[in-house]
């Protein structure tokens, strides 16, 4: 029979009727992220999640990003990074790492929340995934730690110094002093900067160095100077 479909009317006992066809919903298995989290990953299914499968997806996506970066295909890198941010697997693995595996999982962050039960962790995962497109990072202020040191001269703010050493890579730059300490008979400043966030500068390399000739002679030095002067005069 040509031209027939399930919605074509059929003759049934003297009248035309449309057959009732039950709609079959087929679940799609999509290889990639979705905009909304699945309900089966909600509170009742946290302990039943296939973590090995989700970690494998995240690992493969990271490998694709690494490969694209090695090939310097930057548009592809950005697209894969966006794919990672929208990935449900990445959300679940990240929430699990923070709320279940990390040593500080029992310590609340700036939001004052902790998630120590499967229901709470699943709720966090759902909220995080739903806010991917609308979340905006907050501005933060960088504060360098002021480490206590046994030889520190003062814990009070010491202001800034200017690097004056002619061969120093930061020559002429102004750096904040975190603290000062003694190194033998000299003073060194621990300043904010560098690769690790801190760097050490001798006082002689900054604009706070002592002017030449400002040191005092000891008694032994004066006696030696007098002896040298008399020897010169006796010639």
**pLDDT for 26-84, tens place per residue?**
334 444 444 444 444 444 488 889 999 999 999 999 999 999 999 999 999 999 999 99
- Residue 68's SS3 state is helix
Strands 198-202 and 152-154 turn out to be unpaired
pLDDT digits over 77-105, tens only?
A: 999 999 998 899 999 999 999 999 988 88
Window from 38-42, 55-59, 165-169, 195-199 with minimum mean pLDDT: 38-42
Distance CA 110, CA 94 (A): 17
- The answer to whether residues 35 and 129 touch, using CB atoms and an 8 Å cutoff, is no
């Amino acid at each position: 029979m040509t031209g027939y479909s399930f919605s074509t009317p059929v003759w049934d006992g003297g009248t035309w009727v449309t057959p009732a066809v039950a709609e079959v919903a087929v679940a799609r298995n999509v290889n990639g992220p979705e905009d909304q989290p699945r309900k089966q990953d909600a509170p009742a299914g946290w302990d039943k999640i296939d973590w090995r499968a989700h970690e494998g997806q995240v690992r493969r996506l990271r490998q694709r990003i690494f490969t694209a970066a090695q090939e310097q295909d930057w548009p592809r890198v950005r697209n894969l990074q966006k794919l990672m941010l929208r990935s449900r697997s990445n959300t679940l693995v990240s929430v699990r790492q923070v709320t279940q595996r990390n040593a500080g999982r029992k310590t609340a962050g700036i939001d004052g929340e902790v998630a120590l039960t499967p229901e709470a962790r699943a709720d966090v995962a759902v909220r995080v995934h739903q806010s991917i497109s609308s979340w905006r990072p907050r501005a933060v202020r960088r504060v360098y730690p002021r480490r206590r040191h046994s030889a520190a001269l003062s814990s009070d703010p010491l202001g800034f110094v200017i690097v004056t050493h002619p061969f120093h890579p930061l020559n002429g730059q102004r750096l904040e002093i975190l603290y000062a300490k003694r190194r033998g008979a000299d003073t060194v400043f621990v300043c904010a900067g560098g690769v690790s966030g801190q760097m050490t500068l001798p006082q002689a390399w900054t604009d706070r160095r002592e002017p030449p000739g400002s040191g005092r002679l000891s008694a032994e030095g004066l006696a030696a100077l007098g002896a040298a002067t008399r020897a010169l005069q006796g010639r």
